[in-house]
Structure 1
């Protein structure tokens, strides 16, 4: 029998002013051809990192995750810290040697170029380093003093792999981890994020700028000149969260509920930071639609396969196109979301029939939390809400 699934999809329409939030190796804003037209594009990697940083703001420092090649250095620092601070109080050389021995069973090999770094980035929770140290008990100093072969034999008796394969922080549970050398460390991501695309065709423009040398009073020329590429766009952003996978990764229903709500909040409010000082491009979405499904995710980017022309504004026309696509997909495939939650101020008379009534975003998050909580507890999704006033109060 197939395990029950719950997919929380986030559809966002967001307009950006002139900006270059995600550029390629030549400095040009990333683009893609879709529906025969060139679109602005923001890579999924860029928005996932922005979301992870936004999400981490609500985490206690000890509960955060980090992605780094410097796990050996971090572990060594913890081993050298005083026992009162959770460390083992070792000398630096002893700590370095013991850290290397502990990481050996994980297949974490040193980089050929930088000996203090591993060969690849590893995503892990800071508390998981504590779990590694806890395996040593009160024997850290004793083990740090034994010969290499004896140390290797002692470490093999410890369940080192379990320290990084259990007790995942929320960030790892959400975004997953892939380790080619040791599949036991792999974590299936609970979240998938699409590349954001403009709903319309775009054209790259160039900003010619100059910088004045304040101390140069001899001539009127610029101290520096240059150009920066930019575009402006209304983006369709999409992400899907598998609540069932998140629950399995966290092994706690309460943690899964809280993490699901905080992910939606972080994804909605996050923004990549490319050229942020130049363009001050941070905006909030004009539409957030949550669709909840129990069968399979459905990305609605096909609403914009024909580029929006923007006769009455790109955002407003994009919202109408998205509403029409949701109706069309539902009618054609018989695949209706089991519940919809939405926050918007665009064309309410044209959107309510497809998205339901708009509610303040905090109320949307509360309603989503209740929905996820009910599914985790009872395996069912609550009935669709229709009363805006009631939703706003909650």
Structure 2
């Protein structure tokens, strides 16, 4: 019997003070209408990039991925390095020519506007470029000396496309890659990230600011004046990790387990940096809830279709709403998660019953690592009994 898919869902409630973390083309904080009310919104692209940056902090430089139009320049730099530093010792001119020839099978051509850049962004691992250099096996100088036609023929004998199609770094395995002109380079993402929405209605406000000219002692006028738009919000954030797809992308169980845990850690701690110096808006979540399923992912944003109003604050009521929604979805559709793991600050019986007891965040990550490891080892993740359904799974893990 085939092993079922494994989805680890991350539900986060997080309050931001006055801020403008993700703005539109006019400088206004991004918004969306949901449930008939205008909400604060942070795009999935913005939070995915913030997560990638946070994730990269935990990874050695050589093992990181990069998304750039400068792949030809990066490859040429490696070819120009001395052999004892992993390069081929070519001159700058030789390196540029050989790099262009090696990348031609990928359909990568120079941009008509900028000669040092390709026509599109490519997401790849730095180690994959090192692997391309190793493929030359000391023949870089000889290849660089060949006429154009002979060089092209020799490059066809190398596994250039195969090298960039395998050995993916964790970031590419998580977020995927799409190359329209060369589908063999495509990587199916193992992570989906929703746009973050405020659990309540918001109103955009304006900060009028002035800057003083320190050397102006002749008058008391401002050297500069301006306005910046902002709002404050309690956001519902959602992402789902397909552990089965991550395993397929990485082809290594131990790395899959480690990458899954690092992703959850990075997603929980990440923060887009728009207007960061003006607002110092970096906070940590009120709630991190992991729901583990083998059937299908379930985004619980419907908990906030009716905007939270909050009598004594928005965060506590938002947590209760999420607990109610998780319970209601399970009762209505019969799609209760196999496991729930949660870290939260708001305590009451309803929340404890829906999410289980609160775990310190490091303990939540440890429990998730054990659960994912068990699944990767082929162990069946049986649903908890009725008595266990609302309780912490610490003992089981």
Alpha-carbon distance between aligned partners in 2 of 1:55 and 1:16, rounded to the nearest angstrom = 21
Offset of residue 232 of structure 1: 0.2
Offset of residue 390 of structure 1: 5.7
Q: Deviations over 1:315-353 (max 9, x none)?
A: 000111111111111011000000000000113333011
The residue aligned with 2:291 is 291
| Kept in 1: contact 2:341–2:393 (CA 8 A) | no
Alpha-carbon distance between aligned partners in 2 of 1:102 and 1:85, rounded to the nearest angstrom = 20
The residue aligned with 2:230 is 230
Alpha-carbon distance between aligned partners in 1 of 2:174 and 2:186, rounded to the nearest angstrom = 13
Q: Give me the CA root mean square deviation.
A: 1.6
Please, what TM-score do these two structures have when normalized by structure 2? 0.96
Alpha-carbon distance between aligned partners in 1 of 2:294 and 2:321, rounded to the nearest angstrom = 24
Alignment of 1:27-66 (within 5 A): 27-66=27-66
Alpha-carbon distance between aligned partners in 1 of 2:242 and 2:85, rounded to the nearest angstrom = 37
The residue aligned with 2:19 is 19
Q: Deviations over 1:127-177 (max 9, x none)?
A: 000111111111100000000000000000111101100000000000000
* Partner SS, residue 41 of structure 2: strand
Matched, 1:341 2:341: yes
Matched, 1:177 2:177: yes
| Kept in 2: contact 1:371–1:382 (CA 8 A) | no
| Kept in 1: contact 2:352–2:391 (CA 8 A) | no
Identify unmatched segments of 5+ residues in structure 1: none
Distance 1:2 1:375, change over 3 A: closer
Alpha-carbon distance between aligned partners in 1 of 2:23 and 2:394, rounded to the nearest angstrom = 44
Matched, 1:195 2:195: yes
Alpha-carbon distance between aligned partners in 2 of 1:300 and 1:150, rounded to the nearest angstrom = 59
Alpha-carbon distance between aligned partners in 2 of 1:379 and 1:361, rounded to the nearest angstrom = 25
The residue aligned with 1:160 is 160
Offset of residue 311 of structure 1: 1.8
Distance 1:42 1:97, change over 3 A: same
Q: Deviations over 1:10-49 (max 9, x none)?
A: 0000000000000001000000000000000000000000
| Kept in 2: contact 1:374–1:382 (CA 8 A) | no
Please, what TM-score do these two structures have when normalized by structure 1? 0.97
Alpha-carbon distance between aligned partners in 2 of 1:46 and 1:390, rounded to the nearest angstrom = 34
Alpha-carbon distance between aligned partners in 1 of 2:260 and 2:71, rounded to the nearest angstrom = 28
The residue aligned with 2:354 is 354
Alpha-carbon distance between aligned partners in 2 of 1:227 and 1:256, rounded to the nearest angstrom = 46
Identify unmatched segments of 5+ residues in structure 2: none
| Kept in 1: contact 2:210–2:222 (CA 8 A) | yes
Q: Deviations over 1:347-375 (max 9, x none)?
A: 33330111111110000000000000000
The residue aligned with 2:149 is 149
Alpha-carbon distance between aligned partners in 2 of 1:214 and 1:247, rounded to the nearest angstrom = 58
Alignment of 1:242-253 (within 5 A): 242-253=242-253
The residue aligned with 2:75 is 75
Alpha-carbon distance between aligned partners in 2 of 1:47 and 1:379, rounded to the nearest angstrom = 33
Offset of residue 110 of structure 1: 1.4
The residue aligned with 1:268 is 268
* Partner SS, residue 141 of structure 2: helix
Alpha-carbon distance between aligned partners in 2 of 1:158 and 1:336, rounded to the nearest angstrom = 50
The residue aligned with 1:309 is 309
The residue aligned with 2:107 is 107
Offset of residue 3 of structure 1: 5.5
The residue aligned with 1:219 is 219
Alpha-carbon distance between aligned partners in 2 of 1:109 and 1:3, rounded to the nearest angstrom = 43
Alpha-carbon distance between aligned partners in 2 of 1:350 and 1:57, rounded to the nearest angstrom = 37
Offset of residue 116 of structure 1: 1.3
The residue aligned with 1:132 is 132
| Kept in 2: contact 1:76–1:99 (CA 8 A) | yes
Deviation larger for 181-190 or 111-120: 111-120
Q: Deviations over 1:161-218 (max 9, x none)?
A: 0110000000000000000110000000000000000000000000000001100000
Alpha-carbon distance between aligned partners in 1 of 2:355 and 2:108, rounded to the nearest angstrom = 48
Alpha-carbon distance between aligned partners in 1 of 2:70 and 2:378, rounded to the nearest angstrom = 43
Aligned residues: 393
Offset of residue 387 of structure 1: 7.1
| Kept in 2: contact 1:69–1:121 (CA 8 A) | yes
